[in-house]
Amino acid sequence: MKPRAASGVVHGEVRLAYRDYGGDGTPVLLLHGLAGHMGEWDALAELLLPRHRVIAYDARAHGASERQPTDVSRAAYVRDVVAVIGQLLPDSGPVVLVGQSLGGHTAMLTAAAHPGLVRALILIEAGPDGPVPDLPGHIGKWLSSWPVPFASPSAAARFFGGSPAAAHAWASGLEPRDGGLHPRFDPALLTASVAELAHRNYWRTWDDVICAALVVRGDGGDMHPDEATSMASRRPGDTTLRVVRGAGHDVHLDRPELLHEVIDGFLTPWSYRYVGPAALLAAALQTGGGGARTIRSPADFDAWVREQPASELDEPFTFVVDMEGFLRLAPRRSEHVVCAGGGRVLGAGEVAFTRAAGVWMPRFVSNQSTGYCPDGMSWLPVAAALRRAGVAAYSDGFHHEVVFRRCERCQEHNIVREDDFVCVFCGAELPETWNVDAGDPMAPPGA
Q: What is the pLDDT of residues 45-81, one digit of tens each?
A: 999 998 999 999 999 999 999 999 999 999 999 999 9
Tell me the mean pLDDT in the region 301-323. 91
pLDDT of 445: 63
pLDDT of 384: 86
pLDDT of 3: 62
pLDDT of 431: 93
The whole-chain average pLDDT of the chain stands at 92
pLDDT of 285: 80
283 near 290, Cβ under 8 Å?
A: no
**Cα–Cα distance, 327 to 428 (Å, whole number):** 37
C-alpha closest to that of 367 among 383, 353, 355, 356 = 383
* Residue 135, Cβ density class (10 Å: 0-12 exposed, 13-18 middle, ≥19 buried): middle
447 — pLDDT class (breaks 50, 70, 90): low
CATH 3.30.420.40 fits 9-146+183-267, yes or no: no
What's the predicted TM-score (pTM) here? Answer: 0.81
28 — pLDDT class (breaks 50, 70, 90): very high
Distances in Å between the Cα of 428 and the Cα atoms of 82, 258, 424 are 49, 20, 8
Chain CA centroid to CA 375, Å:
14
E runs forming strands in 210-302: 212-218, 239-244, 293-295
Tell me the mean pLDDT in the region 93-107. 97
pLDDT of 22: 94
Tell me the mean pLDDT in the region 392-400. 78
- DSSP assignment of 306-358 equals HHS-GGGTTS-EEEEE-TTS-EEEE-TT--HHHHTTT--BSEEEEEEEEEETT
**Cα–Cα distance, 58 to 219 (Å, whole number):** 27
446 — pLDDT class (breaks 50, 70, 90): low
pLDDT tens-digit profile of 169-199? Answer: 999 999 999 999 999 999 999 999 999 999 9
Give ranges for CATH 3.40.50.1820 in the chain: 9-146+183-267
